[in-house]
């Protein structure tokens, strides 16, 4: 029997998020400390723990069949590779930043200046599109220190919360791209392993839909039921059940996490009571 070989980042936040989603889709991994490969107990999957920057080449060579990888890394080192799913976690952006006291406030102000980065291909392509001529210094790690030691006038690096820029006295002046974890695929994956990947993708979609939704139960007076139902979304339509108390009904539905508070406010304003909100573990449509 074939095993799908899937790569994840060896350590860090992306590793933690990747292992969490694998667990949520029912794939349990037995891996010890510093183990570079581990098999799942209950699914035909082997997980490879690799350096993030090495994963695109492993995909290209067919050493692994799929990978959970930051889109920013795929753009930098694997622009020829495809991904089949955005995963909604490990979100960040690739940005250009300069010292807070710098007179540079836009990308144009870096014309002829020096930019330190770990993402030379991404920066090179972006500057070319913007018709900006700047000198790149390639640094692996600790890019933020470059302006402070006189190595560069600005930097280009990944930004999550912005706290690292703040601590190093830098300000963000340009966002090149926004990134999140994606499920990338090797161009050499065979049909048998592709079918395993499709099962994983289906499970991931169910988990992501659940993460972005809330299950809501509420009590509604029957004389206001039509208005309340008009407000509510649902996978098909809300479920309505009569309560023991005459003139009242119980309404069950699913609400998007993004619309949740606005929807709750409207429901209350239109007579809904006893609103109960529950998390959803999986959502299979």
Residue 285 placed within a domain: no
186 and 84 share a domain?
yes
150 and 220 share a domain?
no
pLDDT in the model for residue 234: 57
59 and 200 share a domain?
yes
pLDDT in the model for residue 69: 96
The average pLDDT across 20-49 equals: 86
112 and 229 Cβ atoms separated by less than 8 Å: no
98 and 163 share a domain?
yes
Q: Percentage of residues in the chain with pLDDT exceeding 70?
A: 97
Task: Report the CATH number that the domain containing residue 133 is assigned in CATH.
Answer: 3.40.190.10
pLDDT in the model for residue 42: 83
Tens-place pLDDT, residues 146-201:
888 888 899 999 898 888 888 888 999 999 999 999 999 999 999 999 999 999 99
Instruction: State the burial class of residue 10 (Cβ atoms within 10 Å of its Cβ: 0-12, 13-18, 19+).
Output: middle
pLDDT in the model for residue 96: 92
Residue 263 placed within a domain: yes
Residue 284 placed within a domain: no
Residue 50 placed within a domain: yes
CA 60, CA 66: separation in Å to the nearest integer? 10
Residues of the domain holding 270: 213-279
Domain boundary pick from 169, 193, 210: 210
110 and 154 share a domain?
yes
Tens-place pLDDT, residues 88-103:
999 999 999 999 988 8
pLDDT in the model for residue 1: 66
pLDDT in the model for residue 146: 86
104 and 163 share a domain?
yes
pLDDT in the model for residue 36: 86
Question: Which residue shows structure tokens 């723990």?
Answer: 49
Tens-place pLDDT, residues 200-238:
999 999 999 998 888 889 999 999 988 888 888 655 678
């Amino acid at each position: 029997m074939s095993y799908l070989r899937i790569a994840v980042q060896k350590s860090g936040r992306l590793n933690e998020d990747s292992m969490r989603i694998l667990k949520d889709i029912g794939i349990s991994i037995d891996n010890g400390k510093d183990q570079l490969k581990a098999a799942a107990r209950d699914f035909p999957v082997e997980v490879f723990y690799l350096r993030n920057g090495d994963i695109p080449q492993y995909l290209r060579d067919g050493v692994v069949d799929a990978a959970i990888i930051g889109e920013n890394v795929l753009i930098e080192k694997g622009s020829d590779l495809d991904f089949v799913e955005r995963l909604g976690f490990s979100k960040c952006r690739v940005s250009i930043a300069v010292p807070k006291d710098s007179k540079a406030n836009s990308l144009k102000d870096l014309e002829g200046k020096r930019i330190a980065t770990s993402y030379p291909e991404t920066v090179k392509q972006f500057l070319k599109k913007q018709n900006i001529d700047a000198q790149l210094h390639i640094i692996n790690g600790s890019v933020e220190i470059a302006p402070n030691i006189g190595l560069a006038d600005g930097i280009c690096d990944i930004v999550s919360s912005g706290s690292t820029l703040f601590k190093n006295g830098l300000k963000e002046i340009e966002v090149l791209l926004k990134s999140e974890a994606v499920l990338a695929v090797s161009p050499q994956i065979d049909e048998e392993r592709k079918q395993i990947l499709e099962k994983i993708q289906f499970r991931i979609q169910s988990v992501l839909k659940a993460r972005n939704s809330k299950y809501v139960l509420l009590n509604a007076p029957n004389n206001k039921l039509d208005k309340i139902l008009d407000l509510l979304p649902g996978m098909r339509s809300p479920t309505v059940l009569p309560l023991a108390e005459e003139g009242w009904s119980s309404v069950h539905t699913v609400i998007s996490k993004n619309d949740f508070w606005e929807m709750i406010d409207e429901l209350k304003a239109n007579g809904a009571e006893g609103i109960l909100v529950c998390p959803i573990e999986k959502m299979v449509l």
